């Protein structure tokens, strides 16, 4: 089951722009799929799409309402639920990135069932997976890996996909988190599967494919993150990447969420991923580095990228700021 | 919530001895807790305990009926359910290692609720966990790690606990799988938690403790298993062991369940665990090797152990065959 587009982006009464970060990412990377935004009274977010009512969206051909906004306190306010209910009546499916499952909202679940609409909870696996088999698959794969969580692995993956598409290459972006899933229209939140199935779910995500086809797999976590390294390792094994790109954010004082643990050395992260990745793909290699330099000036960003490039001997770019051309060149 | 003992071991109509492997392990390691076995008509297993009816067990003071047997086809036959039902009536709690949850058996769940009895599904986490913090905890920890799955990590852990207890040391066995949970009376099936919480659950499992206290943590999987390495890594990070013991089974033709992947070199497994374990405990060291030599003659076992000991420069024993004294000595 994949999410049907085009989308209407539901922003609810988001208290600030950050609360609509997911919707913003989807609108940025899939502008053609996002026909409008629905903002309720008091909404403080704006992702730059035309404001639309549910009726206008239905008229415009929207197939899915995307709840791409964080709610407060983990419960859904009545005015959100009534919007979801009406969207079903108007013929839309609903996809949500909330922790709370749509399928746990009795009125919504019942109505969707009755009307034959789909509910898609992007944070929660909607399939069963087999355990990993470790068997080589056909086709080529690139996985973004990171020094830490939230360092730009999804953005780098999407920049690489965009560059490959522009070159006419055969490529699919494979999503492993909620925003990515709305962008790809499908995928699996690997951090939400039962631990035994991390690598099996990752194998499912990038199946056998043509010899000239690339899957660009969105990385998660970091082998050096004390909370999430298990997810990262299972994703690495299951993805069996031919190529990895190291993603990094240069202004972190320590690993995010674990103040006792310092940021790792970049070369150490590459080495650890290569060593572990060899288990399922002996030819794995690191082809470049993508640094999120959004906190730096142009000058400081360029200086840092040059320093990293000369130290590691790998093309080092900010894939979002400068595009991913040099990374795709390095695959050649 | 921990499982109250003493236990009655329910073997159902197990078709062979192997189907009662869990019950057998519990009876072996906790003979004082296991007052008897309950075998239904046609049961082909016998774990050497006195046969008892439910009434006799209640009379003898049994607090928990342990369903330590694999069932066929994933459903519970009526004669099993009626035994569970009667156990509740007679005042017992029930703990199960079945895939199917006791809490999903409507009649059983309702009756337990009504009578105030506890149901414990050892394969399924019954708590919520926080994500890992990576913060150093007080007390000492030893984790068994393996070249592969099912190489004797639980047996080695229990042998070490037994030896430490015999020496009057302060020690707890910390269980991470269903059999271990019945043996410890508590624990968490780390392979069944949601992937994001592997290391957090492992941190919960071995909390702060006295400086002279050892937690002996039952390992799971292997960093070199393409399906389960994520679980293994999260458990390693969350356990933050001061010491690891490498467990090995010498007759495997390849990694269990993944015929494309060969068994790893023993030194490589030690190195990978030490390198990854340093993230949360810089002082981690490997103190010995435990080889499951049950498939070998005495002579062949001794020869192999000597060869491994001289090659790796570490005490190498079969902890089950010879006890764990040399491993505990090595903690010194």
Fold of A7-121: Rossmann fold (3.40.50)
Dihedral sign of CA atoms B229, B230, B232, B236 in order: positive
What is the tens place of the pLDDT at every residue in B167-195?
999 999 999 999 999 999 999 999 999 99
Q: Which pLDDT band, with edges at 50, 70 and 90, does A258 fall under?
A: very high
Instruction: Quote the minimal CA–CA distance from B232 to chain A in Å.
Output: 7
Instruction: Quote the minimal CA–CA distance from A255 to chain B in Å.
Output: 10
Instruction: Quote the minimal CA–CA distance from B86 to chain A in Å.
Output: 33
Read off the pTM. Answer: 0.95
- Are B233 and A228 an interchain contact pair (Cβ–Cβ within 8 Å)? no
Residues of chain B contacting A132 with CB distance shorter than 8 Å: 226-228, 258
Of A92, A82, A85, A96, which Cα lies nearest the Cα of A117? A92
Residues of chain A numbered 56-85 and touching chain B (CB < 8 Å): none
- Are A233 and B230 an interchain contact pair (Cβ–Cβ within 8 Å)? yes
Residues of chain B numbered 166-205 and touching chain A (CB < 8 Å): 190-196, 198-200
Q: What is the pLDDT of residue A285?
A: 98
Q: For A251-269, what is the mean pLDDT?
A: 95
- Chain A, nearest residue to B271 by Cα: A275
> At residue B49, does pLDDT exceed 70?
yes
Class of B140-331 in CATH: alpha beta
Q: What is the pLDDT of residue A77?
A: 84
- Are B228 and A199 an interchain contact pair (Cβ–Cβ within 8 Å)? yes
Question: DSSP label at A11?
Answer: E
Which among A131, A227, A275 has CB closest to B199?
A: A227
**Cα B62 to the center of its chain, rounded Å:** 22
The answer to whether residue B121 neighbours chain A at the CB level (below 8 Å) is no
φ, ψ (nearest 5 deg) of residue B322: -115, 0
Q: For B102-111, what is the mean pLDDT?
A: 91
3-state secondary structure of B100: coil
Contact B82, B94 (CB under 8 A): no
The domain segmentation of chain B, as residue ranges, is 7-121, 140-331
- Are B198 and A195 an interchain contact pair (Cβ–Cβ within 8 Å)? yes
Interface test with A, best of B149, B222, B229, B260 (most A CBs within 10 A): B229
CA B42/CA A265 separation, integer angstroms: 62
> At residue B5, does pLDDT exceed 70?
yes
Q: What is the pLDDT of residue B71?
A: 77
Instruction: Quote the minimal CA–CA distance from A257 to chain B in Å.
Output: 7
Q: What is the pLDDT of residue A11?
A: 96
Lowest mean pLDDT among A81-95, A150-164, B3-17, B65-79: B65-79
What is the tens place of the pLDDT at every residue in A64-74?
999 999 877 66
Dihedral sign of CA atoms A84, A87, A89, A93 in order: negative
Task: Please list, in sequence order, all residues whose beta carbon lies within 8 angstroms of the beta carbon of residue B149, skipping any fewer than 6 positions away.
Answer: B220, B221, B222, B225, B228, B255, B256, B257
Q: What is the pLDDT of residue B322?
A: 92
- Are A230 and B230 an interchain contact pair (Cβ–Cβ within 8 Å)? yes
User: Before A292, cis peptide (omega within 30)?
Assistant: no
Contact A81, A51 (CB under 8 A): no
- Are B279 and A233 an interchain contact pair (Cβ–Cβ within 8 Å)? no
3-state secondary structure of B94: strand
Residues of chain A contacting B224 with CB distance shorter than 8 Å: 279
Q: Which pLDDT band, with edges at 50, 70 and 90, does B106 fall under?
A: confident
Instruction: Quote the minimal CA–CA distance from A51 to chain B in Å.
Output: 36
CA B157/CA B218 separation, integer angstroms: 6
Q: For A177-197, what is the mean pLDDT?
A: 96
Interface test with A, best of B74, B125, B201, B230 (most A CBs within 10 A): B230
Which among A133, A135, A193 has CB closest to B195?
A: A193
Is A140-329 a CATH 3.30.2390.10 domain? Answer: no
- Chain A, nearest residue to B268 by Cα: A275
Q: What is the pLDDT of residue B109?
A: 94
Number of Cβ within 10 Å of residue A318's Cβ equals 24
- Are B231 and A228 an interchain contact pair (Cβ–Cβ within 8 Å)? no
- Are A132 and B196 an interchain contact pair (Cβ–Cβ within 8 Å)? no
The answer to whether residue A280 neighbours chain B at the CB level (below 8 Å) is yes
Q: What is the pLDDT of residue B74?
A: 66
Q: Which residues of B195-204 are buried (b: 16+ CB within 10 A; e: fewer)?
A: bbbbbbbbbb
- Chain A, nearest residue to B196 by Cα: A191
| Range list of H helices, chain B | 21-29, 54-60, 78-89, 106-115, 153-166, 178-184, 198-205, 229-239, 266-277, 298-312, 319-322, 325-331
3-state secondary structure of A249: coil
**Do the domains B7-121 and B140-331 sit in the same CATH topology, yes or no?**
yes
- Are A134 and B280 an interchain contact pair (Cβ–Cβ within 8 Å)? no
3-state secondary structure of A167: coil
> At residue B262, does pLDDT exceed 80?
yes
> At residue B73, does pLDDT exceed 90?
no
Q: For A220-227, what is the mean pLDDT?
A: 98
- Chain B, nearest residue to A255 by Cα: B134
CA B24/CA A132 separation, integer angstroms: 29
Q: For A247-262, what is the mean pLDDT?
A: 95
Average pLDDT value for chain A: 96
End-to-end CA distance of chain B: 34
Of A17, A10, A19, which Cα lies nearest the Cα of A38? A10
Q: What is the pLDDT of residue A74?
A: 66
φ, ψ (nearest 5 deg) of residue A139: 90, 170
Q: What is the pLDDT of residue A76?
A: 82
Angle, helices A229-239/A198-205, rounded to nearest 10 degrees: 40
Instruction: Quote the minimal CA–CA distance from A57 to chain B in Å.
Output: 36
Task: Please list, in sequence order, all residues whose beta carbon lies within 8 angstroms of the beta carbon of residue A225, skipping any fewer than 6 positions away.
Answer: A148, A149, A232, A255, A256, A257, A258, A261
The answer to whether residue A262 neighbours chain B at the CB level (below 8 Å) is no
Q: For B126-132, what is the mean pLDDT?
A: 92
Contact A277, A269 (CB under 8 A): no
Q: What is the pLDDT of residue A153?
A: 98
Which among A136, A195, A229 has CB closest to B237?
A: A229
């Amino acid at each position: 089951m994949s999410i049907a587009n085009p989308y209407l982006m539901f922003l609810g009464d988001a208290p600030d722009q950050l609360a609509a970060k997911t919707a913003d990412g989807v609108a940025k990377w899939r502008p053609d799929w996002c026909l409008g935004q629905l903002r309720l009274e008091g909404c403080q977010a704006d992702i730059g799409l035309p404001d639309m009512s549910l009726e206008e969206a239905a008229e415009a051909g929207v197939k899915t309402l995307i709840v791409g906004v964080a709610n407060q306190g983990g419960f859904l306010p009545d005015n959100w639920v009534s919007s979801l209910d009406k969207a079903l009546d108007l013929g839309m499916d609903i996809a949500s990135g909330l922790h709370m499952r749509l399928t746990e909202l009795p009125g919504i679940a019942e109505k969707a069932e009755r009307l034959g609409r789909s509910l898609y909870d992007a944070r929660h696996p909607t399939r069963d997976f087999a355990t990993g088999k470790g068997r080589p698959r056909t086709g080529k794969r690139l996985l973004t890996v990171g020094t830490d969580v939230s360092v730009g692995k999804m953005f780098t993956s999407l920049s690489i996909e965009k560059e490959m598409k522009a070159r006419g290459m055969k490529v699919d972006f494979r999503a492993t988190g909620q925003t990515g899933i709305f962008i790809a229209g499908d995928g699996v939140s690997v951090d939400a599967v039962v631990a035994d199935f991390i690598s099996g779910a990752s194998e499912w995500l990038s199946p056998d494919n043509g010899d000239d086809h690339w899957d660009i797999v969105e990385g998660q976590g970091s082998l050096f993150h004390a909370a999430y390294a298990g997810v990262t390792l299972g994703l690495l094994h299951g993805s069996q990447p031919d190529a990895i790109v190291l993603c990094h954010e240069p202004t972190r004082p320590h690993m995010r969420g674990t103040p006792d643990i310092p940021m790792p050395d970049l070369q150490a992260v590459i080495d650890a991923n290569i060593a572990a990745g060899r288990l399922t793909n002996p030819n794995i290699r690191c082809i470049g580095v993508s640094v999120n330099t959004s906190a730096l000036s142009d000058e400081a960003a360029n200086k840092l990228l040059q320093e990293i490039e000369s130290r590691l001997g790998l093309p080092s770019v900010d894939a979002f700021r400068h595009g991913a051309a040099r990374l795709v060149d390095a695959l050649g």
